[in-house]
Amino acid sequence: MDIFANLVSGITGVMTPTNLLFLGIGVVVGMLVGAIPGLGPSAGLAILLPLTFGLEPTTAIVMLAAVYYGAMYGGTITSVLINTPGDSASVPATLEGYPMARKGRAGPALVIAAVGSFAAGTVAVVLLTIAAPLMAGVASSFGPPELFLLIIIGLLTLVVLVGRSWLRGLISVLIGFAIGTVGIDVGGGEQRYTFGSTELINGIDFIPVAIGLFGIGEILWTLYRGGHNDDTMTDVRVDRRSAAFWPSRQEWRDSRGAIARGTPLGFVLGVVPGAGATVASLISYGIEKGLSRRPQRFGRGAVEGLAGPEAANNAAATGAMVPLLTLGIPGSASTAVLLGGFLMWGLQPGPLLMRDNPDFAWGLIGSMYLGNVMLLVMNVFCIPLFAKVTKTPFRTLAPLIIILCAFGTFAVNGSVVEVGIMFACGVLGFLMRRYGLAPAATVIALVLGPMAEETLRQTLLLQGGLGLFVERTPSLVLLCVLVLLLCAPVLSAPLKRAAAALMPRRAAARAAGEAGAAEDAAPKA
């Protein structure tokens, strides 16, 4: 009953004209950001974060959260219409959505993606409503040793899952750690790596780093790939008044099971720090292809290959809010930017957030229910309007985005040095993309690095020191999980070889069974 009462209170608190206005703005801006190839939710949030500086904390986070899950769908529009994913989580939509559009089924593809996103997002918010208080209650008993191990587990998950290899993931995390060491040593009070600059005494702020890595870095990467010369426009027309705009009954039937499977899968993977929407959507696509009775349809416009990953994508976006709200650990690059917003407004996500700031926490959760409804309405009825955004040349958008990045960075603290840091991080972000590193891991490590240092120092000051990691049951369990993660890169190769050795045997057994069944079914002379 307490959860239900808090949820009602949160929804009621959000339903003010100002909050509803900014919620709607966030949904629209999020879809536009997602529909612009090369931006995506992380870059969009990083660019827009400074613009919310003068708003009330609840209003600002409601808007940014709406941008977050609105952008998750916006990338589907470009994937379906012009075969260009807005972000990596929308890649499966290019595999099935674009072939559907080429067959004249762009409307059904976008409608099914919208309905799947709405259904998965709504169920995921319900799960968030239940899971967040439970996890916050468990986490409230955690001390510095457990928090330190949780942070390290989250970072190790990033190392294992992101990038082309675990080594590149480790390098990406270490870059974030290095940036986070600039400033005052929390233990001794000495300056570290400030080079005599008074601007760096308080450390390098999160905002210029995030805007540089995601905003400027993505612009430079797109220019490097020749995106400014790509004037290819889609000839696919989307007319809501046409009967062909709506999915057929068979398409609805094919997509229901995929949405039902993708939703819990995406939520669970979203809760795991580092997994996120991209991993969830790709795994969901593989599951749907493996379960299909006609796998040869995949790659040619299989609607279940679109619906399942889209559901997993949006459910993972909501699931990533669970560790953010309850542990203060971002589950993805986008939630790392949201964490920067929390800190900017003087709020510390973690076990005490829902107890000390219930109006803020439950207002955010309540806004996600309302935001999903707005998202569905706008997705279905404004698809033709948003489709026109895909025709805007990148060479027109790039200068505007760079100006917005510079203005937003300067507006936060009025520091020209931070603008320079932003551009330097933009070059760093481009080089990381160029050589296969992960800017998302760097941003998350930048946020978690100082937290890890502080909790480790607190642990060492407690009576027992490092022995607390094995003397306390919760920390011992987390330590075992940490060891398993460390062994994952070593064990993955033998497991893959064993799976590859079993596959031919299973295929031969299946072929023998099918041959025997055909022989039994054949008419006898």
pLDDT digits (tens, 9 = 90+) for 320-352: 888 777 777 776 777 777 777 777 777 777 667
User: Of the candidates 87, 121, 117, 128, which has an alpha carbon nearest to the alpha carbon of residue 308?
Assistant: 117
- From the number of C-beta atoms within 10 Å of its C-beta (0-12, 13-18, 19+), residue 504 rates as exposed
Q: Are strands 191-192 and 183-184 parallel, antiparallel or unpaired?
A: antiparallel
Q: Retrieve residue 409's tokens.
A: 């960075």
Is the pLDDT at 497 greater than 80? The verdict is no
Specify the pLDDT at position 525.
38
Low-confidence winner among 358-372, 401-415, 480-494 (lowest mean pLDDT): 480-494
More confident residue, 351 or 437: 437
Specify the pLDDT at position 460.
79
Nearest-angstrom CA–CA distance, 135 and 214: 30
Specify the pLDDT at position 431.
92
Specify the pLDDT at position 161.
57
Bridge partner residues of 184 (DSSP): 191
Specify the pLDDT at position 232.
47
Nearest-angstrom CA–CA distance, 92 and 109: 12
Is the pLDDT at 524 greater than 50? The verdict is no
Specify the pLDDT at position 518.
44
Specify the pLDDT at position 37.
59
Specify the pLDDT at position 428.
92
Specify the pLDDT at position 74.
73
Is the pLDDT at 380 greater than 60? The verdict is yes
Q: 461: pLDDT confidence band, cut at 50, 70 and 90?
A: confident
pTM exceeds 0.85 for this model: no
Average pLDDT over residues 24-48: 75
Q: 386: pLDDT confidence band, cut at 50, 70 and 90?
A: low
Specify the pLDDT at position 504.
54
Specify the pLDDT at position 207.
74
